Amino acid sequence: METRRFITKANTSQIQIDLPDSMVNKKIEILVIALEEATDKKKTRKRHPPIELAGKVKELGNVMESAPLSDWGIE
């Protein structure tokens, strides 16, 4: 399966996509996702662990030293 990903700003209600020759005369699927809305949901949604894990997870050591500080967004 050949894929192409395009990210663009929709200034009107229509967009034009130039497809490669290999996709001409083929059945294709097009997905349209508003990226700004998806980002907003992630900021406001609070995550909760599955109830099945309650009381079963234990920290083994210092989790902050398990990865560089930059991976934690601290530096």
Q: Which regions in the chain score pLDDT beneath 70?
A: 36-44, 75
Closest CA to 1 of 33, 32, 28, 31: 28
CA distance 53 to 69: 27
Amino acid at the residue 10: A
Q: Where are the alpha helices (DSSP H) in 1-75?
A: 35-44
pLDDT value for 26: 93
pLDDT value for 42: 54
pLDDT value for 6: 86
Which letter, b or e, does each residue of 20-29 get, where b requires 16 or more Cβ atoms within 10 Å of its Cβ? eeeeeeeeee
